[in-house]
Amino acid sequence: MAYYYSEPSHTFSEYLLVPGYTSEDCIPTNVSLRTPLVKFKKGEESSINLNIPLVSAIMQSVSDNNMAIALAKEGGLSFIYGSQSVEDEAAMVAKVKNYKAGFVVSDSNLRPDSTLADVLALVEKTGHSTIAITDNGMYNGKLIGIVTSRDYRVSSMSPNTPVKEFMTPRSKLITAPENTSLNEANDIIWEHKVNQLPIVDSDDRLLYLVFRKDYDQHEEQPLELLDSNKRFMVGAGINTKDYEERVPALVEAGADVLCIDSSEGYTIWQKKTLDFIRAKYGDSVKVGAGNVVDRDGFRFLAEAGADFIKVGIGGGSICITREQKGIGRGQATALIEVAAARDEYFAETGVYVPICSDGGIVHDYHMTLALAMGADFLMLGRYFARFDESPTPKLNVNGTYVKEYWGEGSNRARNWQRYDLGGKAKLSFEEGVDSYVVYAGPLKDNVNKSLYKVKSTMCNCGVLTIPELQRDAKITLVSATSIVEGGYHDVMLKTTNNKL
C-alpha cells in the first residue's frame, strides 16, 4: 500500500512569524545576513560564505555573467546557466572572474599604428574604454602608451587617425614595477590623481592594470563577494550527462562552486556525478546537488558528498512539474522536513550541510519565513529575471514594461538534461512555461529594499543573525480567513496601480 502523509503540505503564504522581544540594539543596521554556502565540520567555518542569503537560479533567462557581476557586488552569488555549450558557459565564468581584480590583465590592446576606427570597434566589443598600446598589440607587449575616452573626440577626428597621434605616450604615463602591492598601487593612483596604473616588468612589458574605479567600487560595496585574489565569486550549473567534459572546463575557467541542475535530485545520476567529481578533485571542488523535498532525499545527497542541497520541486512561478507529473510538495513543508534532516545529520556526523530553498518565493516576507524555517540561503529565478541585469530584453507590452522569463523545462529552453532520467536526449514534454515578468529596474535598489524588509522583520523577532532566527523564530500556521485578513480589506483604494 502507498504511503500517505497525515498532514497536507503547505506553502509560505500559509504561515506568519510571531514577534519576539526587540531590544534597543536590535535595529536593521546591526543585522548580519552572512550565511554558509558549502558544508563544514563542527567547530570550523564554511570555506565559502555569502554576505547576503541570495543566489540566482540556473536559468537562461536569469543568470549570465552580467547578473553574476551585479549580484556579487551586493554579496550574493549567481550560478551561470548550464543549458549552453561547455565553451560558452566557461567563457561566461571567465568573464566574471576577470571583471574585477586588484591586478587586471588587459583585454583591450592595440598597436601604435592602429586607428581610431580600431579603438571604437574594440570599445564596442569589450565595453572597456581603457586600451593599452603595446609594440605588438598584445596584453604582454612592451608598453607604448594608453588610450582612454578622454584622448579622442569622434566628431572632430578622422576614423583613420593613427593611435600614436592621440594616445597618452609612455613618457607621460605613471607606472609601477611588478613587485608593487595592491595597497601601494592604490596609493600611487591617489597621489598622482590617475584613473589607472600600468604595472610593468624590468623590460617595460605590460603585466597588469590597476584601476581607481575598483577601489572606489569596493568602498561603495562593502558586502561584495570576493575570492582570495579579490575577484568576484561565481557559480556554474552542471548536468548529469556531460559532466566529465563540463566540470573540468568550468574549474579551469575559475568557477568557485558548481551545482547540479536538475528538477529531481534523489537519483543515481546525481550520485554518479558527485562520485566523478570527488574521484577527480577530492573536496577541492565544491558542488551542490538537488532538488529534494524530504528527509530521504537529503540523506541520500548528503551521504553522496554534496556540499549543499537544494530543496523544492514544482514551486517555481514558471514550473508546471506538478501539473504535468503530479510530483512535488508544498515548499514550506518540504523545507521544514529537510531542515530537520540537516540538523539530525549534523548531530550524527558533525558535518553541517547547508540547504537552499529553491522556489515558492512570491513576496519579500517569504524570504524571511524560508530562512526562519531553516534555509541557509535562497535560490530565486522570477525575482532576478525582472531586473536590468538579467539577460533578456526589456519590452513594452500593452503599455507595461516587462522582461521575458521562461522555464528550463519549456520548449524555448529545451534543457532536456535537467529532466533526464536516463532516457533519450530530448524533451518529451514541457515542465515549464514561457512568460513575461513586470520589469522592476536595477538589481541593487531592489535587493537592498527586499533585504531591508528581511532585516526589519528579524528585528521584530528579536534576532540579529540567521542562525538566531532559525533558533528563536516563532511561526504560526494561519487559516484561509487569516490570509484574507492579512491584506487590505473593507476599503476602497484610491488607485488601482499597485504593480510592484
The residues annotated with a catalytic role in the active site are 319, 418
Task: Give the distance from CA 158 to its chain's centroid.
Answer: 43
Q: Residue 239: is it exposed, middle or buried by C-beta count within 10 angstroms (0-12/13-18/19+)? A: buried
Handedness of CA 114, 115, 119, 121 (dihedral sign): negative
Q: Which amino acid appears at position 132 of this protein?
A: A
Collapse the DSSP code of 262 into the 3-class scheme (helix H, G, I; strand E, B; otherwise coil) and give the result. coil
Q: What are phi and psi of 477, to 5 degrees?
A: -80, 140
Strand-strand pairing, 49-50 and 54-56:
unpaired
Residues 300 and 266 sit within 8 Å (Cβ to Cβ): yes
Collapse the DSSP code of 475 into the 3-class scheme (helix H, G, I; strand E, B; otherwise coil) and give the result. strand
Q: Which amino acid appears at position 407 of this protein?
A: G
DSSP for residue 432: B
Query: Strands, E, within 329-445: which ranges?
Result: 351-352, 355-358, 377-380, 394-397, 400-406, 434-438
Q: Which amino acid appears at position 118 of this protein?
A: D
The residue whose grid cell reads 594608453 is 146
Q: Cis link prior to 229 (omega < 30° from 0)?
A: no
Q: What is the CA radius of gyration of the chain?
A: 25
Q: What are phi and psi of 20, to 5 degrees?
A: -115, -175
Strand-strand pairing, 377-380 and 54-56:
parallel
> What's the CA gap between 263 and 261, in Å, rounded?
7
Q: Which strands sit side by side in the sheet containing 400-406, from one edge to the other?
A: 394-397, 400-406, 434-438
Q: How big is the CA angle at 96 (ends 91 and 99), to the nearest 5 degrees?
A: 115
Q: Which amino acid appears at position 290 of this protein?
A: G
Neighbours of 296 (CB within 10 A): 12
